[in-house]
Amino acid sequence: MSQYQSVKGTRDIFPEEAAQWNYVETIVHKLAALYGFREIRIPIFEYTELFQRGIGSTTDIVGKEMFSFQPDPKGRSITLRPEMTAGVMRAALQKNLFSLAPVHKLFYIGELFRKERPQAGRQRQFSQFGAELLGVSSPAAVAEVITLMMQVFKSLGLNGLKLRINTLGDSEDRLRFREALQAWFAPFHDILDEASKERLEKNPLRILDSKNPAMQELVSGAPRLYDYLKESSLQDFKKVLFYLEERGIAYEIDHRLVRGLDYYCHTAFEVTSSELGAQDAIGGGGRYDALARELGNSADVPASGFAVGIERLLITMEKQGLLAAIPSDAPVVYLVVQQQDLADHGMQIAWQLREAGIKTEIDLAGRSMKAQMREANRINAAYALFLGATEYETGHYSLKNLVTSEQTTLTLEAIVQFLREQRLQQCGN
């Protein structure tokens, strides 16, 4: 055993599990394409100010969870990305995407880093897939983003996820609400926890998002932003809900949902799974028109998006028994070489099968026939193909179905044909 262990809050993904990841990622690619979202890949690290400006300095992420470092003494501080949206917007603005076309629909899959206390479903390196619809903000755009996210869940067979949704209004609505909140919390100043005291001045909305049970109880009596919305904000929200209803997407309005990041406006949403325990959020998102301006753009860029945690998605799939249905990546054929002097011929046949797109495994260590059979079973090969002196001379090979034990003797060409007809998994075809 090595003296080294993986870093706290990180984990390794071995091949069986990687197959599950690939499956999820394939569905994401497929459905994103169906909705016209194209993939963007951005750097793992960015200048620290991007997140400070983009996410907001009063958030937990920026306040205490960023992995930041200074590559050289005079250099600017750099941070491992703790979320994707700020980086995607930075990339879009830097590339001047909006001069090419007004609307850009982007999706991503990638790793994020947050210095949180590791526990079940919470890591320091984790992964998300998500989508960002940039350049248009309308109830239709928000509904499109939510629908794509929900369709991914549905395609993966997930059940019982809860979509909670809220509106944060526009900046005017929030300003009025902010004053109302400050006035309401003022008499409770002494019983506020330290974080909430600080937030009372800077961003009282975030007190509503407190994870502290004592604060949550207090918050339950606080005024609702919903009651401070102007008519147009209310209509915007109702239209989003209308689209969801039209599509049969069940939701629950949650007036306390503010989400952890500062850049949201109007619709915000979160999806939870009761199977996840304390860390029950599987994904979330919303509309964030003001982010571009926060990043120094001269105007707002209307935008909305979502992000889903892949680890938590897979934990939920496991709890719901959905992982067993994922197609396995077991090889189709195990080529059993009966005599050592036929090993080279075996290699040639394996190569021919692979050229024909048939997944093939062969022993490379000169092991006995018994050991080869054991290996074929261990890796769940569907068929064993036997190569002995007779097969070598006649060009007819015995193919054994390892599940039913049925055996047929065919030429290599016929075997390829047969396996294709069986519609068994062919690599690369």
Q: Which residues bind ligand AMP (CB under 6 A)?
A: 83, 114, 116, 121-123, 126, 128, 260, 281-284, 307, 309, 311-312
Q: How far is the CB of 295 from ligand AMP (least distance, A)?
A: 17
**Residue 82 vs 204, nearer CB to ligand AMP:** 82
Residue 130 CB, nearest approach to ligand AMP (Å): 8
**Block residue for tokens 């794509």:** 148
Smallest separation, CB 273 to ligand AMP (Å):
9
Query: What is the rounded distance in angstroms from the CA atom of residue 166 to the CA atom of residue 266?
Result: 8
Query: Nearer to ligand AMP by C-beta: 162 or 176?
Result: 162
Q: How far is the CB of 260 from ligand AMP (least distance, A)?
A: 5
- Smaller CB separation from ligand AMP, 128 or 210: 128
Strand stretches in 242-359, DSSP E: 252-253, 265-272, 281-287, 303-309, 333-337
**In residues, how long is the chain?**
429
Which residue's beta carbon is nearest to the bound ligand AMP?
Answer: 309
CB-nearer residue toward ligand AMP: 87 or 283: 283
Q: Which one, 130 or 346, has the nearer CB to ligand AMP? A: 130
Give the start-end residues of each E strand in 204-287: 252-253, 265-272, 281-287
Judged by CB, which is closer to ligand AMP: 260, or 346? Answer: 260
Burial of 340 (0-12, 13-18, 19+ CB in 10 A): exposed
Q: How far is CA 305 from the centre of its chain?
A: 13
Closest CA to 198 of 338, 301, 58: 58
Closest distance to ligand AMP from the beta carbon of 308 (Å): 6
Contact (Cβ atoms closer than 8 angstroms) between residue 104 and residue 135: yes
Instruction: Please report how close the Cβ of residue 202 comes to ligand AMP at its closest, in angstroms.
Output: 20
Q: CA distances (Å), 46 to each of 63, 81, 87, 285, 290, in order?
A: 17, 7, 7, 21, 20
Number of H helices, E strands in the chain: 16, 16
Instruction: State in angstroms the smallest separation of the CB of 121 from ligand AMP.
Output: 6
Burial of 319 (0-12, 13-18, 19+ CB in 10 A): middle
- Is 38 exposed, middle or buried, given 0-12, 13-18 or 19+ CB atoms closer than 10 A? exposed
